[in-house]
Amino acid sequence: MESQLPKFLKEPEKYSRLRLLEALQELYLSIEMLKEGYSRNSASKLFLSWKALLSSIVVTNFGKIMETKKKEGKEDEIKWYMRIGYSAPTTGLIGIARDLENLGFKGLVNLTTAMLGIHRYAYNGLDEDISPFHSRSEAIISIKGLIKAEVEIVGSMKFGDEEKELFEKIKRELNNI
């Protein structure tokens, strides 16, 4: 029976840790790109970091999410989480953030909404019909604030030596943006 489990459920701690490491790597790259003046690339990396972080949190709390969905009789959402939801796809981020908030994680829906704005900026620049920003400086201010918000969330998580070393490096680099 275990061999038929999805890969993320066979070794959830390992999967979650890898996604957390991915989130930290992308976050570091976001900071570096912002320091070099590449705001759209920074925004793209920040968004990828957010998706990886949400995936890590989902997998860590997968049992609680499934229990809640079963109580609510939401079999279609259980199937969705098993099929793809655990990976935090872009189209499901608001629902995932809401589910995590229902478990006690605060502010994730608002942060996810802001991250989706950053995502639009990364792909479309300052196109006035698509981008939530009217100037590059507005985008940079938001990117900096969202980086700091994500660092706060990550700081409350448990991680191993590799993640800890990268996290400390990220915190040092925050002073340079």
For 113-129, what is each residue's pLDDT tens digit? 999 999 999 999 999 89
Confidence of residue 5 (pLDDT cuts 50, 70, 90): low
**What is the extent of the structural domain holding 51?**
12-174
Q: Tokens 């038929």 sit at which residue? A: 4
Task: Note the pLDDT of residue 8.
Answer: 83
Q: Which range, of 8-12, 114-118, 133-137, averages the lowest pLDDT? A: 8-12
Number of domains, the chain:
1
CB-based burial label for 41 (10 Å; 0-12, 13-18, 19+):
middle
Segment 58-81 shows an average pLDDT of: 96
Q: Are 118 and 43 in contact (CB under 8 A)?
A: yes
6 within some domain: no
Tokens in use for 101?
């908030």
Burial 78-92 (b: 16+ CB within 10 A, else e): bebbeeebbbbeeeb
Confidence of residue 89 (pLDDT cuts 50, 70, 90): very high
82 within some domain: yes
**Residue 53: which of 145, 131, 155, 144 has the closest Cα?**
155
DSSP state of 106: -
Task: Note the pLDDT of residue 1.
Answer: 41
**Dihedral-angle region of residue 77 (phi above 0 means left; psi in -120 to 50 means alpha; beta otherwise):** alpha
Q: At 161, is the secondary structure helix, strand, or coil?
A: helix
- Indicate whether 103 pLDDT > 50: yes
161 within some domain: yes
Angstrom distance (rounded) from CA 168 to CA 155: 10
Task: Note the pLDDT of residue 3.
Answer: 53
